[in-house]
Amino acid sequence: MAKSGAFPAEMTEKLRWIRRTATKRPVTVSGLSASSTNAETWSSFAEASASTAGVSMGYVLGDGVGCIDLDHCITGGVVADWARRILDQCPPTFIEVSQSGTGLHIFGLLPEGAGRNIRRNGTAVEFYSTGRYIAVTGNKFEDSPSVLADLSEVVASIV
Tell me the pLDDT of the chain (159 aa) as tens digits: 455 568 999 999 999 999 999 999 999 999 999 999 999 999 999 999 999 999 999 999 999 999 999 999 999 999 999 999 999 999 999 999 999 999 999 999 999 988 888 887 777 899 999 999 999 999 999 999 999 999 999 999 887
In whole angstroms, what is the distance from residue 132 CA to residue 110 CA?
13
- Residue 2: its pLDDT value, please? 53
Query: What integer pLDDT is reported at residue 158 of this predicted model?
Result: 84
Check residue 23 and give its pLDDT. 92
How crowded is residue 84: how many other Cβ atoms within 10 Å of its Cβ? 13
Q: What pLDDT does 123 receive?
A: 78
| pLDDT score, position 118 | 85
End-to-end CA distance of the chain: 33
List residues bridging with 78 in a β-sheet.
75
Task: Choose among 106, 96, 102: nearest CA to 140.
Answer: 96
- How many whole angstroms separate alpha carbon 128 and alpha carbon 65? 9
- Decide: helix, strand or coil at residue 135: strand
Confidence (pLDDT) at 114: 86
Determine the pLDDT at residue 4. Answer: 53
Angle ∠(132,134,138) on CA atoms, nearest 5: 155
> Quick one: pLDDT at residue 159?
72
Query: Positive or negative, the Cα torsion across 107, 95, 4, 137?
Result: positive
